[in-house]
Amino acid sequence: MLIKINKDICYVSFPAAIKQFFTGYFDFKGRTTRAGYWWVMVVFLILSLLSIPVLVYQFVSMTSMLLQGIDDEQALDYGTNNLMMLMMVALVIYLLIFFIPSMALFTRRCRDVGFRGRGVLVLWIVSLVSTIFASMGFFLYIFLIYFSYQSGADILFVYLNYIIGVFFFILTVLPSDFLTTKSKSKIVRFFFRVKM
């Protein structure tokens, strides 16, 4: 059963935000307050910070092995066979569980600010395309290092990604209905909700 998440109250407690996050797993049409969004982001930050000691331990272990004179390949095999594999499995599980509800949460937050669903979709598509082009430029540089030609276009996509990321962040801190509009322009109304 799909539960639509609506912004009914001004303050959302931590338990309510987590509950809304999971009950609105596939809800891209509701609205989420700033508090509802940021409580979930705090949980994600804590989960991310918990992985840092494991990564530091792995790095120190590999560095220690290299300093003791153990072969580079053996040290790298140790690193990729032990905790790194466990971390990769945990990351895949994490992404499978949290990717869709995170997108839904962000979409609901943008809708609360004043974006329409299709406006958010256009932002996501532009972000995805710029990420793909920036990544392609990076990987072409790595794999085709022998070619001397560099277009410089990949760096433009990297900067475009940074700009989109900052814009996404700004959207999450704006108050409810901040971007609603009274404009008659079809282009503006394509992206933003009409102010009532």
Domain boundary (70, 87, 113) is at 113
As for how many domains the chain has, the answer is 2
Mind listing the pLDDT tens digit of every residue in the chain (196 residues)?
344 555 555 678 888 888 888 888 888 888 999 999 999 999 988 988 887 787 777 777 767 766 777 666 666 666 556 666 777 788 788 888 888 999 999 999 999 999 998 999 998 898 888 888 777 766 666 555 545 455 566 677 778 888 988 999 999 999 999 999 999 999 999 999 998 7
Q: Which domain holds residue 173?
A: 114-196
Domain boundary (71, 93, 113) is at 113
Q: Do 21 and 75 fall within a single domain?
A: yes
Q: Which two tokens stand for residue 25?
A: 């797993």
Q: Would 133 be classed as within a structural domain? A: yes
Q: Do 23 and 99 fall within a single domain?
A: yes
Question: In this predicted structure, what is the pLDDT of residue 175?
Answer: 93
Q: Do 193 and 122 fall within a single domain?
A: yes
CB 168 within 8 A of CB 120: no
CB 162 within 8 A of CB 168: no
Q: Do 22 and 92 fall within a single domain?
A: yes
* Model pTM score: 0.75
Question: In this predicted structure, what is the pLDDT of residue 5?
Answer: 55
Domain boundary (73, 91, 113) is at 113
**Count of C-beta atoms within a 10 Å radius of residue 192:** 19
